[in-house]
Amino acid sequence: MAKSDPAGTTRGRRAGTRSARPGGKTPVTGDLVQLLTPDGDRIDQVTWHDGTEYRVDFTDEEYRSLYRDLVLVRKLDAEATALQRQGELGIWASLLGQEAAQVGSGRALRTQDMAFPTYREHGVLYCRGIDPIMPLGLFRGVDLGGWDPNEFKFNMYTIVIGAQTLHATGYAMGVNMDGKTGTDDGEAVIAYFGDGASAQGDVNEAFIWASVFNAPMVFFCQNNQYAISEPLERQTRIPLYQRAAGFGFPGVRVDGNDVLATYAVTRAALDNARHGQGPTLIEAYTYRMGAHTTTDDPTRYRIASEVEAWQAKDPIARVRTFLTKQGIADDAFLAEVDEQAKQEALRLRERVLEMPDPEPLTLFDNVFPNGSPEIDAQRELTARYMDSFEGSAL
């Protein structure tokens, strides 16, 4: 599991540390920041409309490490989907197609930064060094996730749409109150959500609070084009990133299928936040190649040609093409990564199948620190009910 922090370099306009490409100005990008085209060609540096310049400067090993994470994350996700189809998980929310948005932004986090996910950020979780078995315990119904948010600086999955943006903003306001911003070692906070959540009241309230209190926040919206079955054109009349202007902070759109650009944009926004420059909204323009969850059938609301068009922009294929074109990776390396992914997926499956079922009455444990008469009564009632079944072993 590669968890190194690649030494990518970005420069934020508000941080006052612009970079300059030898030979003069770089062209202003179009409607999104892109550093790696779908054909696997590198773009040295781009300038966003507000003058911010973005670039990365990875070593060959760091490029290979990024590719490895992308492949592993996709393979583990596919294994989880298969487990659900075979009845081993209650439900699964696949990240298929959104690997670059998650690995790029996850890798951009520094150790001290705090992340607040939804329920789909398996790639970010992986980049934070959390055992990938953890979310499967949640979706199998044997625990509530199991990782320590304080240890990994990665909060628990949040199912309620958009609620985590308020949690993150409150946390970020606390970071300010604790005086943990204003230096290179400052702490920044990132909140993940989707295009559908951007219409939620919680998200808009979080924008307001983060803006007026200059919270060290990065709002990371993965625009995967659908709020379950609702297409983007039914959700907004303007690009989502432009909404930030109405709340008084910058917004930027990045090619969410480009892991390099996602890394550069996220790192710049986080660094601005940690230096006391306030929030940024990032719209990672991507596509959910699979279903919303395993309870969804996307063939009922989108056409095959649309999916095929986005498959041509596959986030992993373009990195693979780039590595091959540049001679950074050979067939032996690519085969080794595929084999590692296969073996890790196999171990994941075995561990899921070995998970013990929890004792039903543990449902009532840890509700309150010192217990409660009401919870005790519910526990006793449930125990009597379960004892009423013939052959009960409770």
Question: For 221-225, what is the mean pLDDT?
Answer: 97
Helix/strand/coil percentages in the chain, nearest 5: 45, 10, 45
Q: Are 110 and 275 in contact (CB under 8 A)?
A: no
- Whether 130 and 342 have beta carbons less than 8 Å apart is answered as no
The whole-number pLDDT of residue 27 equals 61
pLDDT tens for 306-326 read: 999 999 999 999 999 999 999
Residue 13 has pLDDT above 50, yes or no: no
Confidence band of 15 (pLDDT split at 50, 70, 90): very low
Q: Are 128 and 154 in contact (CB under 8 A)?
A: yes
Q: Which residues pair with 254 in a beta bridge?
A: 33, 284
pLDDT exceeds cutoff 70 at 394: no
Confidence of residue 9 (pLDDT cuts 50, 70, 90): very low
Give me the mean pLDDT over the 272-286 stretch. Answer: 98
Q: Report the alpha-carbon distance of residue 225 to residue 257 in Å, rounded.
A: 13
pTM reported for the whole predicted model? 0.90
In this model, does residue 20 exceed pLDDT 70? Answer: no
CA dihedral 326, 328, 329, 330 (to 10 degrees): 70
The per-residue pLDDT for range 235-245, each reduced to its tens digit, is: 999 999 999 99
- On average, the pLDDT of the chain sits at 92
User: Tell me, what amino acid is at 191?
Assistant: A
DSSP state at residue 377? H
Look-up: residue for tokens 């309620």?
Answer: 160
Neighbours of 381 (CB within 10 A): 10
What is the mean predicted confidence (pLDDT) over 339-362? 95
Active site residues: 288, 292, 301
Element (H, E) at 252: strand 251-255
Bridge partners (DSSP) listed for residue 191: 116, 219
pLDDT tens sequence across 89-107: 999 999 999 999 999 999 9
